[in-house]
Amino acid sequence: MAPKAEKKPAEKKPSTAAEKKTSKDGAGDGKRKKKVHPDIGISSKAMGIMNSFINDIFEKLVVESSRLARYNKKPTITSREIQTAVRLVLPGELAKHAVSESTKAVTKFTSS
């Protein structure tokens, strides 16, 4: 039996001070919230709650979309599975709005 080739561990780049900085509000550079309500701030506690909420919804959508892909014997989650998961997980009008906005985003992405 031939001896296995030894792999060297991947070299890490030295981290810079800029990489270590984190946003106080957790929203990147704050562009999203500033576009919607430029005159309103959000506390770090409220941002933490919003972050937990978004992560929870994301997890529910991933679980449902992977269940749909498995049910249809597909190895890949596509926008179709995500869209169906959104319709199943989110309530009525919120699901309709999410599907509308996501369709617009996918169309913009594929056309560019």
pLDDT confidence of residue 25: 47
Q: What fold is seen in the domain 42-111? A: Histone, subunit A (1.10.20)
pLDDT confidence of residue 37: 81
For residue 61, how many other CB atoms are within 10 A of its CB? 19
Contact 63, 34 (CB under 8 A): no
pLDDT confidence of residue 39: 87
For residue range 42-51, list pLDDT tens digits in order: 899 999 999 9
Contact 17, 23 (CB under 8 A): no
pLDDT confidence of residue 40: 86
Residue ranges of the chain with pLDDT lower than 50?
25
Pull the structure tokens for residue 9: 């561990």
The pTM of this model reads 0.66
